[in-house]
Structure 1
Amino acid sequence: MPATTGGRPPAIAAAQSLASTVPSLGVEEEFLLLDPANGENVPAAVAVLSGLPAGIREQSRPEFRHSMIEMVTPVCTSLAEAEQQLRRLRRAAAAAAAAAGTRLVAVGATPIAERRPTVTDNPRFEAIARHYGPIVADPAVCGCHVHVGVADRELAIQVSNQLRTRLPVIQALAANSPFYVGADSGHASWRSMQLERWPSLGPAPLFESADDYADTVRLMVDSGAMLDATMVLWYARPSATYPTIEVRVADVCPTVADTVLLTGLIRALVATAIDDIAAGLTAPEVPDVLLRAAHWNAAHRGLGGTLLDLREGRARPAWDVVDDLVTTVRPALLRHADLPLVETGLARLRQEGTGADRQRRVYERTNDLRTVVSELATWTVQG
């Protein structure tokens, strides 16, 4: 498929019409249901979802595993509104989980054990299980997906192109899954490593146009790598359901404050990409092998070492790369009135570390993964 050489005229026109606007946003968060006594996954999704208040149940979904649920905010216009909705949904889901004898936990990968690694009773999930075989038996993982309003599909494709070199930084900021089946995995985001076995998941290719995107998806379905067009699982993609760009690179965040920080940065990245396209700037053409290396590094180290700066072509201290990203998106953050929340969140993250760092500190202090799970459950609703 041809690589992009910059925004096509239809995308440039759409970007120019949206320049200086404030995009809408929405957030999807996946959670594990864990046993309060031993920290293992509990297949209680049906009981938890049915126990939600009616108004909130409409903003919930069953997920791939019996031990997972997903909560979805309505469309929001501000970070403050998104924060209010995220807290409301987490608290309601945590109360329903407690009533079902389990705990709602915001963690990227199964920390201790999943004794029933079967998919939820759903025709689509069952078809995925048949098609992909033993990959499906991996323990459950949970992500955070941020939607930013971009209704024009040609523009959405070009925004996705622009985001490619920036998303390893987002992945590092959100790393929240160091433990896997009872031990430290050695990675900040084991979820990212675990998902590497799925085809059509990872950094999105460069696309020339919406037609190029559609042709690529069609051929991948024809190849069998995608069961169907819904299996587009790239880290950034035009949503198949909503008029948005969906960024799905992140582990679910341990606290609402972390999710708000992540959401503000992603919206600013999308807005900055739109501004760049409106100005006729081209997306960097980075080799896929280096892009995957940058994501592997981000998932492995989080913010604890270097990140591969794909725009400068060298490894740099992680926080230097974060600071450069914030400088790049600062005009958008100011325009959205998001800069104070983002600066506060980054200062806290610089002091406390990622979710992976925080989990490891609890484990170093207690040598008990059950205590880590207990702390995570508290952070899920109070942070």
Structure 2
Amino acid sequence: MSTLGVEEEYLLLDPDTGENAPVAGDVLAALPGELREQSRPEFRRSMLEMVTPVCTSLAELRGHLSVMRRAAATAAARAGARLVPVGATPVAEPDRTPTDDPRFHAIARHYGPIAHDPALCGCHVHVGVPSRAEAIEAGNHLRPWLPVVQALAVNSPLCEGVDTGFASWRSVQLLRWPSLGPAPHHDSPAGYDRTVAALVASGAMLDESMVLWYARPSATFPTVEVRVADVCPAIGDTVLVAALVRALVETAREGHEAPVVPDELLRAAHWNAARTGMDGTLLDPRTGQARPAWQAVDDLLTHIGPALRRLGDRGTVETELARIRRDGTGAARQRRLLTGGIDAVLAELAVHSSPPSALNSRSGVSPSL
């Protein structure tokens, strides 16, 4: 059974204004020691990243995510902020100073104004693989299916307090960065390294660590890392994304030849997934045809069905998909709440990372996200 782990990035928001609060250092200091070791400073001081331990089951992953979110929410409250799992800055970020780290300052110098765009938060899934070659081959197999995963995980429709018209504004903002988007098809680790070296030599990338493709061999762990999803509003959404990614990697390891899909079709498929989420059609990059979004999900389940059964994950995936089909994606749920004002959206998002005592003290707030 493949191992898996998740990195989640959260925004720290002022509970009164909804603006980003640059208090990540205070939040990190307030975390319990063992959870502080699972946390990292992020590029922006209004962001917090937390990393699960290596897991073998979805139940184990769910438990770690719950503990992490509750601890981080408690620490954020002590720092006077609200921990919110949302993919893009929803109101404003007055202070865009990078975290005081030589690496982050180098990124800011190299990429200029785009490094000062409002903060964005993603959900990154790692699946263990035996070798770097298998990680690259798994990435080849994942390419046509990742727009479907992206569409299920959209959770950033807001910017400057209003609806952007996109289900994942985070995905649109990130297109300004080079080497971000669907990974090119690579035949070998050597071919992958040549592409990366050429991008660095071109000046588009600061260094090889700035490969930000949606699927890549991790530079740190023996895993394939998938970076296509917005940070999810509810833990169940995160568990679903992780389950789908792991089943895709397991399916890729069965030895079938990876389909070579034109890059321009993949980019179009991802752009459309960011625009409509599950509320329209998704482009099938294998055929070039648009299909109803839930038919694309059915195709994905057919493709990974044997792997889901082997892993024992089929029931969890079906339950979480039924919930999203009933209640909508994170973006759709935010839009329904927006009629009550943006503070209603942010308060509801915060429910999913709050400790039980905070949840119990809130009257009239139901965890519908």
TM over 0.5: yes
Partners of 2:209 and 2:186 in 1: CA distance: 18
Per-residue Cα deviation, 1:344-374 (whole angstroms, up to 9, x for no partner) = 000000000000000000012x1x1111111
Q: How does 1:17-96 map to 2 (within 5 A)?
A: 22-96=1-75
- Which residue of structure 1 lines up, in the alignment, with residue 302 of structure 2? 327
Partners of 2:347 and 2:5 in 1: CA distance: 28
- Which residue of structure 2 lines up, in the alignment, with residue 362 of structure 1? 337
- Which residue of structure 2 lines up, in the alignment, with residue 347 of structure 1? 322
- Which residue of structure 2 lines up, in the alignment, with residue 307 of structure 1? 282
Letter in 1 for 2:224: I
- State the superposition RMSD in angstroms: 0.9
Per-residue Cα deviation, 1:102-146 (whole angstroms, up to 9, x for no partner) = 010000000001000121111111000000000011000000000
Partners of 1:355 and 1:202 in 2: CA distance: 21
Confirm or deny: 8 A CA contact 2:250 2:307 kept in the other structure. Answer: yes
Partners of 1:70 and 1:266 in 2: CA distance: 20
Q: How many residues align?
A: 356
> Does 2:111 correspond to 1:132?
yes
Partners of 1:288 and 1:69 in 2: CA distance: 33
- Deviation at 1:380? 3.2
Partners of 2:275 and 2:94 in 1: CA distance: 26
Partners of 2:258 and 2:337 in 1: CA distance: 41
Partners of 1:345 and 1:165 in 2: CA distance: 22
> Does 2:220 correspond to 1:245?
no
- Deviation at 1:224? 1.1
- Out of 216, 219, 233, the residue aligned to residue 254 of structure 1 is 233
Confirm or deny: 8 A CA contact 2:265 2:288 kept in the other structure. Answer: no
Partners of 1:29 and 1:168 in 2: CA distance: 19
- Which residue of structure 1 lines up, in the alignment, with residue 264 of structure 2? 289
Partners of 1:151 and 1:140 in 2: CA distance: 34
Per-residue Cα deviation, 1:220-242 (whole angstroms, up to 9, x for no partner) = 11111110111010000000000
- Which residue of structure 1 lines up, in the alignment, with residue 89 of structure 2? 110
Q: How does 1:101-180 map to 2 (within 5 A)?
A: 101-180=80-159
Q: Given the two structures, how large is their TM-score scaled by the length of structure 2?
A: 0.95
Partners of 1:252 and 1:29 in 2: CA distance: 6
Partners of 2:346 and 2:7 in 1: CA distance: 22
- Deviation at 1:311? 2.1
Partners of 1:251 and 1:163 in 2: CA distance: 17
Per-residue Cα deviation, 1:179-226 (whole angstroms, up to 9, x for no partner) = 011111110000000000000000000111000001111111111111
Letter in 2 for 1:374: A
Partner of 2:352, secondary structure, is helix
- Deviation at 1:156? 1.2
Instruction: Determine which structure has greater relative contact order: mean sequence separation of CA pairs < 8 Å that are 6+ residues apart, divided by chain length.
Output: 1
- Deviation at 1:379? 2.6
Per-residue Cα deviation, 1:310-344 (whole angstroms, up to 9, x for no partner) = 22321000000011101111111111111111110
Partners of 2:153 and 2:184 in 1: CA distance: 22
Partners of 1:282 and 1:338 in 2: CA distance: 24
- Which residue of structure 2 lines up, in the alignment, with residue 375 of structure 1? 348
- Deviation at 1:154? 1.2
Q: 5+ unaligned residues in a row in structure 1: which ranges?
A: 1-21
Q: 5+ unaligned residues in a row in structure 2: which ranges?
A: 355-366
Partner of 1:197, secondary structure, is coil
Partners of 1:26 and 1:93 in 2: CA distance: 18
- Deviation at 1:92? 0.3
Q: Given the two structures, how large is their TM-score scaled by the length of structure 1?
A: 0.92
